[in-house]
Amino acid sequence: MTKSNVEKFRELTNTPARRHTFYCYCTQKFAQDQAIFFLLVEAFRQSHSKRHAIFINDWFIKGNIPAALDGFVTQVNISSSLSKSVGKSVDSAVTAVGKTFSDKRANHGGGFGGFLGALRQKMGDTGLDADLFKNAQAGMVEMLADPYNKFDDTYKPDGMYQPNPSFSKQLILFRKEIMSVGFDAKDLGLY
Residue 21 resides in a domain: yes
pLDDT one-digit tens code per residue, 5-25:
899 999 999 999 999 999 999
Q: How confident is the model at residue 183 (pLDDT cuts 50, 70, 90)?
A: very high
**Residue 164: inside a domain, yes or no?**
yes
Q: Is the dihedral of CA 135, 36, 69, 176 positive or negative?
A: positive
Per residue in 32-43, is it b (16+ CB within 10 Å) or e — as a string?
bbbbbbbbbbbb
Confirm whether 173 is domain-assigned: yes
* 108 inside domain: no
For residue 151, give its domain range: 5-77+130-188
- pLDDT tens for 58-67 read 999 999 999 9
Average pLDDT on 82-104 reads 81
* Domain total in the chain: 1
Nearest C-alpha neighbor of 43 from the set 29, 23, 71? 23
8 Å CB contact between 120 and 101: no
Examine residue 107 and state whether it is found in any structural domain, yes or no.
Answer: no
Residues 143-182 have pLDDT tens digits of 887 766 567 677 899 999 999 999 999 999 999 999 999 9
Q: Is residue 148 a part of any domain in this protein?
A: yes
Which pTM was predicted? 0.84
* Alpha-carbon separation of residue 124 from 34, 101, 120 (angstroms): 34, 13, 6
pLDDT for 115 equals 65
